[in-house]
Chain A
Amino acid sequence: MGNWGSMDTKDGELLARYRDGQVEALEQLVLRYRRPLFGFILNTVEGRDDADEIFQEVWYKVIRKSHLYKQKNFLGWLVRIARNTIIDRARKKKADVSLDAESESSGPLVQVIAGTGPDPGERLDSGELGKRISMAVDGLPHDQKEVFVMRVQAGLPFKEIAHVQGVSINTALARMQYAIAKLRPILKNDYADLCAQRTGRATA
């Protein structure tokens, strides 16, 4: 990719510049949001190849629909496009999912999305604690996992998460509370170490 301008430039301005013909402006946006967006996609779908494809598809849609951008939070818009793209792909795969697998608590579409998560054993640089956490995250109901990933991995505020999911901010907060409540017991014996690590990083 090319040279990148100031990171302070607002997303809306960069998009406007792209519409005026400056391709570098779009490249800047891609680089700015590649980590949080790709992280969200990677933790929602199966495998890096799929994540790569969806990442591309999201930006193709941004290119085609750049004139529709009116939100304040560009990352929220990206995540919303990514989420819709993932749902569309899951719908296409839905035919392959046996109806017998449908549980009472969640529909087949949710299972297709939630069931395609990566194998915790394949995660990179994960220690024992990391594996336990990732397994616990994968075991969360889809809506809760989505809120958790959007908050932790993509760094979206709850207001934006609620907008992406099409729910109230209280619902988004409640989902996060449930997710935290399920993950807390796993970390019970590791609090001290983690807090020490955090304190060490903060003072460093």
Chain B
Amino acid sequence: MKCEKRERQILLAQSGELSAAAAREIEEHISQCPHCSDYRNSLEAVFAASGEALLSGVPSDRALHRIKIAALNHEDPQPITLFRPAVLALAAAAALVIAVGFWTMLPTGATSTTGDDLDTIIMMVQYEDAEEVATPAADRRKSVRELADELLSMEGFAVDEFSENEWFTSDEELPATGLRSRSNPDSQPRTCV
């Protein structure tokens, strides 16, 4: 056996980890081997010197007191840890409830499939086409025309005498079309300064 292995056996013998038979065997070897005998002696010398050289001592009384307080106050020797199965199951259940809650709170459109999305877009386009006929501008134009027709008929003019172009060439032409003169042919047309 190599001396390196014997050295390990000497270390194990010193720590009391060899069987009785193995310890006897190594003792016999040491008695016959100068190298291993010297190794054992130096090992013991290192241990003796290091035991004194290394720092030693005891913890402070304050530390011991705090440990005692902690021991006294410790009511539950098995605290809830994050990785206990029951805690994990509880956490998973809570996460599931939250996820379902969010799912139900989402708008229907956001949860629809691609086909549903397409139907919605088509409906919106059709609705916009329908609305184009009665946009706010057209409504305003129509109501102005109706009002004008009403005024003309009140003044005794036939509505058909005026074309649409006369009414809506421009905003400034509307009073200059001579509504006053037409409504009162005797009066002079107003001249703008």
> Closest approach, in angstroms, between the C-beta of A165 and any C-beta of chain B?
15
CB of B55 within 8 A of chain A? yes
Chain A contacts with B in 34-75, Cβ cutoff 8 A: 34-35, 38-39, 42-43, 48, 51-53, 55-56, 59-60, 63-64, 66-67
CB of B72 within 8 A of chain A? yes
Which of these, B15, B58, B63, B78, contacts A67 with CB under 8 Å?
B78
Chain B contacts with A in 1-57, Cβ cutoff 8 A: 4, 7-8, 11-12, 15-17, 41-57
A129 B49 Cβ-Cβ under 8 A: yes
CB of B71 within 8 A of chain A? yes
Q: How long is the Cα–Cα vector from A108 to B32 in the complex, in angstroms?
A: 46
| In the complex, chain B residues whose CB is within 8 Å of the CB of A152 | 47, 50-51, 54
Provide the main secondary structure of the chain A interface. helix
Q: How long is the Cα–Cα vector from A186 to B52 in the complex, in angstroms?
A: 15
| In the complex, chain A residues whose CB is within 8 Å of the CB of B48 | 194, 197-198
Counting chain A residues whose Cβ lies within 8 A of the other chain, the interface size class is: 35 or more
Which of these, A52, A64, A133, contacts B53 with CB under 8 Å?
A133
Q: How long is the Cα–Cα vector from A173 to B7 in the complex, in angstroms?
A: 9
CB of B190 within 8 A of chain A? no
| In the complex, chain B residues whose CB is within 8 Å of the CB of A43 | 54-55
- Interface size on B (CB < 8 Å)? 41
A38 B57 Cβ-Cβ under 8 A: yes
Which of these, A27, A42, A129, A180, contacts B68 with CB under 8 Å?
A27
- A131-B12 contact given A30-B64, A56-B66, A195-B45, CB 8 Å threshold: no
Which of the listed residues B43, B67, B78 has the most CB atoms from chain A within 10 Å of its own CB? B67
CB of B126 within 8 A of chain A? no
A64 B68 Cβ-Cβ under 8 A: no
| In the complex, chain B residues whose CB is within 8 Å of the CB of A137 | 50, 53-54
| In the complex, chain B residues whose CB is within 8 Å of the CB of A153 | 51, 54, 56
Nearest neighbor of B79 in chain A, beta-carbon distance: A64
| In the complex, chain A residues whose CB is within 8 Å of the CB of B72 | 23
B55 A63 Cβ-Cβ under 8 A: no
Q: How long is the Cα–Cα vector from A125 to B56 in the complex, in angstroms?
A: 10
CB of B70 within 8 A of chain A? yes
- A131-B71 contact given A159-B17, A177-B7, CB 8 Å threshold: no
Contacts from A to B (Cβ < 8 Å): 1, 18-19, 23, 26-27, 30, 34-35, 38-39, 42-43, 48, 51-53, 55-56, 59-60, 63-64, 66-67, 118, 123-126, 129-131, 133-134, 137, 148-149, 151-153, 157-159, 170, 173-174, 176-177, 180, 183-184, 187, 190-191, 194-195, 197-198
